[in-house]
Chains A and B, each alone.
Chain A
Amino acid sequence: MSGILIRGGRVLDPARRFDDMADVLLLESRVEAIGRNLGTPPGVMVVDATGQVVAPGLIDLHVHLREPGQEDLETVATGALAAAAGGFSAVCAMPNTDPVCDNQGVVGFMKAQAQRAGKARVYPIGAISLGQKGQQLAEFGELVGAGAVAVSDDGKPVVSSHLMRTALEYAKTFGIPVADHCEEPTLSAGGVMHEGIVSTRLGLKGIPAAAEEIMVARDLLLAELTGGHVHLCHMSTRGSVDLIRRAKDRGVRVTAEACPHHFALTHEACEGYDTNAKMNPPLREPEDREAIRQGLKDGTIDVIATDHAPHHYDAKEREFDDAPNGIIGLETALGLAITELVKTGLLSLPELVERMSSGPARIFGLPGGTLAPGGPADVTVFDPDVEWTVRPQEFCSRSRNTPFGGRRLSGRANVTIVRGLVAYQRPD
């Protein structure tokens, strides 16, 4: 029997309100027991978690693995490894691949690749519309049957309100959320950063906050109308947070995510035309960053997701206007979350685990997110206090496009276990 004993750590399982020093015993691919001084069954590997936190495996609901189509940027395998290195035992992969993940063939392919890699779990997200063209609904039934856990046209907004409504209604049949990238395209057209004083100074076309908020409002109203579950991707403005808070008060079935860069940076990171600060939605003003943080605190924003978006060095090494949007995030997310949210006193560690593990599992209906005995042996062991310097060259991801190179962060995952096997162990 194979197994792992994780000894001497602080076990955090917010789903069961558990927070105590304990050992965790994993046998085969299940959590066997949690308690003090558990004995070591023969043949079981011991992981020393002294001074560290033992949490259910972190789950990232929003990543872009560039396979199929752009394997030079990232593959399912390299992405799954990067996820594990970041402490994630599972990720949900967005469908804007080439070909688009709008049929069971691509869904199956991605699952097979993830299986072969044997690192973090990869749950494909299917497209809302065929080819993500925004016209015809994709076959949600086929997608879910092949293993998709949600649908999204992310990368692009769902422009047609009629299509969004239909998607929300149809998705109810399969019990999956519809995840929307909220962007009103006529307002954002040509924009490359947040519209504000920095874009004025730099002479770059801006995307006003309203471009996001208009679609957030629309999606909330449609969720209310249909009773469907809308999941709002990468929220970035204070207006959005406000709209979501009020909708939740009314009982609308909405969940929302925010990315580390939106709670860590502001539009000032674009100074000097740094293309590693170019993403969509863009970095916003300090007041927006503060609202995102407060939203994570009070649960208006349910989860932290990375929107991990690998790009080639050459692609980012361009004039700001021409550079593609997005940064990688799997290997810096936990460090940023601890540094910016926990060390500042905004969130406690259990609250953080809720935002990064139990919350994501719950809202997408995924296994894991808890260390309940009998559940899957997906565990993250992390040191919340260790200080480290971000060195992109050492990332497991194939890409390096991050604005955090050289930054000192607190907190890092050391061991990530998936299905009872070590998917990643940090070399000393």
Chain B
Amino acid sequence: MTGVSTALGKDLVGLEYLSRDQIQLILDTAEPFKEVSERPIKKVPALRGKTIVNLFFEASTRTRISFEFAEKRLSADTVNVASQGSSVEKGETLVDTAKNLEAMRIDMVVIRHGASGAAQFLGSRIRSNVINAGDGKHEHPTQGLLDLLTLRDRFGRLEGIKVAICGDVLHSRVARSNIWGLLKLGAEVGICGPASLLPRNIQDLGVTILPRIEDAIQWADALNVLRLQLERMEAGFIPSLREYNRVFGVTTERLSKAAKDLVILHPGPMNRGVEIDSDVADGPHSVILPQVTNGVAVRMAVLYLLAGGSPDWAQAGKGEEH
């Protein structure tokens, strides 16, 4: 029976550490959860009695809300903890925060933190399940998963699909998770952006570098357009947002030159007029809103799969009891 060999382990830290089968399992499990969100009563008792803490060290409304819906629709009890600043600034280390949570017998922690490696750090120190909602520049696995699901919905498969990730890849955890997920599922990955915003050795991961946005538009079946942050300009990586839009912006005019109808994704929130023009974001090829819908389903799937008992328990046969 399925499930035994693809058990996810205790934590979801990143897509780099999952196998192709594990990622497929999550995507397949997300399907029935999409249906739950369409019901009049958007709730199933699957995680009833579980306590989940959303531990967000970085402000984020959309990801946190998406996780909260996912948790509540599974009937879990949720607590939001918002914390600004690093351990040093706050005076309480991540280790202490972790131990306090464990002492309160939390079942699962969803963590977003500014330091790469924070999710793994927490996961290796507490017994609760830890789900990475974004750690520094490292990974944002649930975003990667919902992007994969959205692409799979659109194309029917991921094998052989060409996806260009466009923008500030250097600082993007969304980009890294997407790269891992897409490559493992057999897609081709290109990255496109100003060279000062592309990481060293990125081609060693197996991605194609597309120097200009026009190249990406010609090459790809889908564009995943990343948000460009103001801080990058202030830190001197690019001269100005205006130039970025002029040279790299995804505009209707540029898309009109594409050989095929490109699917447009964006992790949000969008800088309309910087990396993406409004008419593209709101246009017929944009799947930005389906991404959001899929986000809740994917997160429900992840919580459901992780909240199972220890992976080395129980046999599949138990699933047939009546």
Query: Can you pick out 29 interface pairs between chain A and chain B where the beta carbons lie within 8 Å of each other?
Result: A195-B200, A196-B200, A197-B200, A197-B205, A200-B201, A200-B202, A201-B176, A201-B205, A202-B116, A202-B138, A203-B138, A204-B136, A204-B138, A205-B137, A206-B200, A208-B200, A272-B120, A317-B95, A318-B87, A318-B121, A319-B113, A319-B116, A319-B117, A320-B116, A320-B121, A321-B136, A322-B86, A322-B88, A322-B115
- Chain B nearest CB from A186 CB (Å) reads 10
Those of B111-149 within 8 Å (CB) of chain A: 113-118, 120-121, 135-139
Those of A196-235 within 8 Å (CB) of chain B: 196-197, 199-206, 208
B87-A320 in contact (CB<8A): no
A273-B121 in contact (CB<8A): yes
Given known A273-B117, A320-B115, contact A200–B200 (CB-CB < 8 A): yes
- Chain B nearest CB from A198 CB (Å) reads 9
Chain A, Cβ-Cβ closest to B118 = A319
Residues of A near B204 (CB, < 8 A) are 197
B117-A202 in contact (CB<8A): yes
Residues of A near B138 (CB, < 8 A) are 202-204
**Is B93 at the interface (CB under 8 A from chain A)?**
yes
Chain A, Cβ-Cβ closest to B139 = A203
A320-B117 in contact (CB<8A): yes
How extensive is the interface on chain A, given as a class? 20 to 34
Residues of A within 8 A of B (CB): 195-197, 199-206, 208, 272-273, 314, 317-322
Measured CA separation A204–B121 after assembly (Å): 14
CB-contact partner of A200 in B113, B115, B199, under 8 A:
B199
- Chain A nearest CB from B183 CB (Å) reads 13
B115-A321 in contact (CB<8A): yes
Residues of A near B113 (CB, < 8 A) are 319
Residues of B near A203 (CB, < 8 A) are 116-117, 135-139, 173, 176
Measured CA separation A202–B14 after assembly (Å): 10
Measured CA separation A202–B93 after assembly (Å): 21
Q: Identify 6 new A-B residue pairs, CB closer than 8 A, beyond the known A314-B93, A319-B86.
A: A318-B87, A318-B95, A320-B117, A321-B114, A322-B86, A322-B115
* 0/1 interface trace, chain B 71-99, chain A, CB 8 Å (1 if under): 00000000000000011100001110000
Measured CA separation A205–B136 after assembly (Å): 10
Residues of A near B16 (CB, < 8 A) are 201
Measured CA separation A202–B176 after assembly (Å): 9
Measured CA separation A108–B114 after assembly (Å): 44
Measured CA separation A321–B121 after assembly (Å): 12
Measured CA separation A200–B204 after assembly (Å): 10
B137-A319 in contact (CB<8A): no
Residues of B near A208 (CB, < 8 A) are 200
Measured CA separation A208–B116 after assembly (Å): 19
Measured CA separation A197–B121 after assembly (Å): 21
Chain A, Cβ-Cβ closest to B120 = A273
B115-A319 in contact (CB<8A): yes
Measured CA separation A204–B94 after assembly (Å): 18
Measured CA separation A319–B94 after assembly (Å): 8
A321-B116 in contact (CB<8A): yes
Measured CA separation A274–B235 after assembly (Å): 28
Residues of A near B202 (CB, < 8 A) are 200
Measured CA separation A205–B117 after assembly (Å): 12
Chain B, Cβ-Cβ closest to A272 = B120
| Shortest 5 CB-CB contacts between residues of A and residues of B | A203-B138, A273-B117, A319-B115, A203-B137, A197-B201
Residues of A near B139 (CB, < 8 A) are 203
Measured CA separation A321–B173 after assembly (Å): 16
Chain B, Cβ-Cβ closest to A201 = B16
- Chain A nearest CB from B315 CB (Å) reads 32
CB-contact partner of A318 in B93, B136, B205, under 8 A:
B93
* 0/1 interface trace, chain B 40-72, chain A, CB 8 Å (1 if under): 000000000000000000000000000000000
Chain B, Cβ-Cβ closest to A198 = B201
Measured CA separation A322–B57 after assembly (Å): 15
Measured CA separation A200–B95 after assembly (Å): 25
Measured CA separation A206–B171 after assembly (Å): 12
Measured CA separation A320–B135 after assembly (Å): 11
A319-B200 in contact (CB<8A): no
Measured CA separation A174–B120 after assembly (Å): 52
Residues of B near A319 (CB, < 8 A) are 86-87, 94, 113, 115-118, 121
Q: Point out which of B88, B136, B173 has the most chain A C-beta atoms below 10 A from its C-beta.
A: B136
Measured CA separation A205–B204 after assembly (Å): 17
Q: Point out which of B93, B95, B115, B137 has the most chain A C-beta atoms below 10 A from its C-beta.
A: B115
Measured CA separation A205–B199 after assembly (Å): 10
Residues of A near B88 (CB, < 8 A) are 322
Chain B, Cβ-Cβ closest to A195 = B200
- Chain A nearest CB from B38 CB (Å) reads 36
Residues of B near A317 (CB, < 8 A) are 93, 95
Chain A, Cβ-Cβ closest to B115 = A319
Residues of B near A201 (CB, < 8 A) are 16, 176, 205
Residues of B near A273 (CB, < 8 A) are 116-117, 120-121
Residues of A near B116 (CB, < 8 A) are 202-204, 273, 319-321
Chain A, Cβ-Cβ closest to B201 = A197
- Chain A nearest CB from B114 CB (Å) reads 8
- Chain B nearest CB from A324 CB (Å) reads 11
- Chain A nearest CB from B152 CB (Å) reads 25
